[in-house]
Amino acid sequence: NVVPTPVKINLINMLSETGLQVIEATSFVSPKWVPQMADHTEVMQGINKLPGISYPVLTPNLKGFQAAVAAGAKEVSIFGAASELFTKKNINCSIEESLERFDEVMTAARAASIPVRGYVSCVLGCPYEGKISAAKVAEVSKKMYSMGCYEISLGDTIGVGTPGSMKEMLTAVMKEVPVGALAVHCHDTYGQALANILVALQMGVSVVDASVAGLGGCPYARGASGNVATEDLVYMLNGLGIHTGVDLQKLMDTGTFICNALNRRTNSKVSQASCRL
């Protein structure tokens, strides 16, 4: 389902009112590859950009970066992977080649004083290669951090990770990248996301990626879920007494809005449980 531009803009505006400090707005990638993000320029120019909130966008290469900056982007993200096969299938080149492309983006970003966030996919497993070594994740993370990414988001792309593999992977990465520069991006495909996030928090990670209403399925397991729901994450953090600045009720209202617009049920259990009246 491709979502109409005004709905996307409204979604982002509603998210901006919840207390969230970072909202990934869109992706400056060719509509040939990602038609759902074809309206990237209109979205970027249409949203209310509230002070104190960051609206990073994906920029896979220099061309995308330039289009993003022209459209008003003030922060960008690049997507690497800890798996050669995944990189080949996803962006048709090797990890090394992808890092070379990113280097061009880094140079331009540095010149324009634009912060860059780095993502590493497949950190706890790959749909093609299966098991991924923690050392490989650490190696790719280190390279991206050294290139100038201010933060590295470690993604369990197919959600196969468990607290055991999360701990092992983070232990290796934390030898190369300071914990203050690390984030986790857990998928809930096997229901492990919150347990994995808990372990990451216990190890000192304090940046967590999540998706309102758990939007975004898993392209590698038909019918399975993908992103962890922001509502469920905030519920857990509230219960742990950890401050996030996010208003859970406003977040749930935003989730309700987008699910109605998409004509689908929420993937957030907190939202489901709360809708009893």
Rule CB under 8 A: which residues touch other proteins? 127-128, 159, 161-165, 167, 188-192, 194-195, 197-199, 218, 220-225, 229, 232, 235-236, 238-241, 268-270, 272-276
Residue 106: CB minimum distance to other proteins, A: 32
Residue 75 or residue 188: which is nearer to other proteins going by CB? 188
Rounded distance, CA 276 to CA 167, Å? Answer: 37
3-state secondary structure the chain: CCCCHHHHHHHHHHHHCCCCCECCCEECCCCCCCHHHCCHHHHHHHCCCCCCCECCEECCCHHHHHHHHHCCCCCEEEEEECCHHHHHHHHCCCHHHHHHHHHHHHHHHHHCCCCEEEEEECCCCECCCECCCHHHHHHHHHHHHHHCCCEEEEEECCCCCCHHHHHHHHHHHCCCCCHHHEEEEEECCCCCHHHHHHHHHHCCCCCEECEHHHCCCCCCCCCCCCECEHHHHHHHHHHCCCCCCCCHHHHHHHHHHHHHHHCCCCCCHHHHHHCCC
Residue 129: CB minimum distance to other proteins, A: 11
Residue 145: CB minimum distance to other proteins, A: 27
Residue 99 or residue 197: which is nearer to other proteins going by CB? 197
Residue 153 or residue 230: which is nearer to other proteins going by CB? 230
Residue 2: CB minimum distance to other proteins, A: 21
Residue 229: CB minimum distance to other proteins, A: 7
Residue 77 or residue 254: which is nearer to other proteins going by CB? 254
| 218 noted as active-site residue | yes
Residue 64 or residue 125: which is nearer to other proteins going by CB? 125
Which member of 122, 218, 259, 275 is catalytic?
218
Rounded distance, CA 66 to CA 73, Å? Answer: 9
Q: Which residues are catalytic?
A: 218
